[in-house]
Copies of this chain bind each other. A is one copy, B any other.
Amino acid sequence: MTTIKDIAKAAGVSVTTVSRALNGYSDVSEKTRKKIMDIAKQLNYSPNTLARSLVMNKSKTIGLLVSGMTRSALKDNFTFEVMTGVNDYIAKTDYDVILFNTNSTKQREKTYSQLCRERRVDGVILQGIKTDDPYLTEVVESDIPCVLIDIPIQSDRVGYVTTDNVYGAKKAVQHLLELGHRRIAMMNGHDYAFVSKQRLQGFYEAMEEANVPIEKEWIVNGDFSEEMAEARAYELFEKHNNITAIFCASDLMALGVMKALKQLGLRVPEDVSVIGYDDILLASYVSPALTTIAQNKFQMGYEAASMLIDMLEGNEAKVVTLRTQLVVRESTAPVKKG
C-alpha cells in the first residue's frame, strides 16, 4: 500500500511537501504540486484516514446508535426510515457512518462513552432508547456532540429532533371527537418513552378541552408491540363494550388492536373507530386502511444528521420539532347513534 513517503521519494521532495501539496496548501509551487499529484495517481495512492485521524484528533466519523435494528422491528420500519434520512444527509458530507447496535448484550458491556471513544467518533446520533437507559445520563455528561431522536434532552453539546407529539395526539383525539365519539380509549406505549408521555398529554388536552370525561381504566399500555396491544385490547373491549373509539400511540399497536376487535366480532370502523400514530407503510395497505397521524421519519433522520454536522462545525445544539399530519383513511367513522 503506497504511502506519502513513497510519493516523496519518487518525487524527490519531503513528506511535508507531499502532504501540503495533496491538501491544497499554497506554499508549494504549481510545478511540484502537479508532479506530486501525478505520481500519487500513478501509484494509486489513497490516504490512510486512520493515521490522519490520529494526528488530527478527529475521525470524520459519526456513530449511529440504534436499538430498533432487530428482526422483530422490521414490520415497523421507523428505524430504517430515520437511518435512510441520516444516510442521505451524511452522504453529502465527507463523514462516514459507523453503526453501533445496542441490542446485543455484547455491546452492552461497554458504556456509551467507551463505545464512542474507542472508535473516536466525532459525534453521535442516538435513536430508540428508553428513558431509563443508563446511556442517557452518559450522553449529557459526555462531551461528545450528540443529537437525540424523540428524546427531549438538551445541553450545549446535545440537541434533539422530534415531532409535535402533544399536538399530534391532540389532533388524533380531536378527529375522533369531531366524529361524535365520547367514549374514547387509548392504547399507549410504555412509561419509558417520552413520546408516550407526550401523546398521553395530547390525549388529555383534547378530552379536557372538549369536556369529555376520561376513564383512566381505558388507558392501557401495549408496549409498542403488536402482540401486546392485541392482548390488552382484547381484555379492554371484552370488559368495556361501550367504548366506541380508541387512539393508539403507534400504528403497529393499532394493527394489534384491530386484530383483537376482529376476534371479538367488532367491526372497524362501524362498531369502533381506530386511529394510529406514525403512518407506517402497512397503514395504507391493511384493510380497513388505517387513519393515523403521519410523521416524517426520513426527515427526522435528515435533520438530525444536519444538526450534528452543524454542531461539529462549531454551531450550537438546537431542537427541531417537525410537524405531524392527520391522514384520514378508513378506520375511523362517525359514532353510531344510540
Contact = CB atoms under 8 A, between A and B. Distances in A.
A92 B77 contact: no
A281 B285 CA distance: 11
Interface in A145-185: none
A96 B74 CA distance: 21
A120 B48 contact: yes
B96 A97 contact: no
Nearest to A44: B113
Interface stretch (A99-107, A201-209, A211-219): A99-107
A75 B284 CA distance: 12
A137 interface: no
A46 B99 contact: no
Contact of A46 (B44, B54, B117): B117
Interface stretch (A8-16, A79-87, A271-279): A79-87
A131 interface: no
Interface in A53-111: 53-54, 59, 61, 64, 69-71, 74-75, 77, 80-81, 83-84, 87-88, 91-92, 96-101, 103-104, 106-107
Given A99-B96, A114-B46, A118-B46, A88 B74 contact: no
A128 to B, nearest CB: 13
Interface in A242-296: 281-282, 285-287
B119 A75 contact: no
B71 A74 contact: no
Interface residues of A, number: 49
Contacts of A47: 118
This protein's copies in its complex: 2
Contacts of A88: 70-71, 104
A46 B119 CA distance: 10
A49 B53 CA distance: 11
Nearest to A76: B281
A51 B49 contact: no
Contacts of A287: 287
Contact of A106 (B51, B92, B118): B92
A49 B44 CA distance: 26
A285 B69 CA distance: 22
B49 A69 contact: no
A123 B106 CA distance: 21
A298 interface: yes
A111 to B, nearest CB: 9
Contact of A281 (B71, B75, B98): B75
Query: What are the 6 tightest A-B residue pairs by CB atom distance, in nearest-first order?
Result: A91-B104, A97-B99, A80-B80, A46-B117, A285-B285, A46-B114
14 contacts: A46-B114, A48-B120, A50-B50, A50-B53, A51-B54, A64-B99, A70-B88, A71-B298, A74-B80, A75-B281, A87-B99, A96-B99, A96-B100, A287-B287
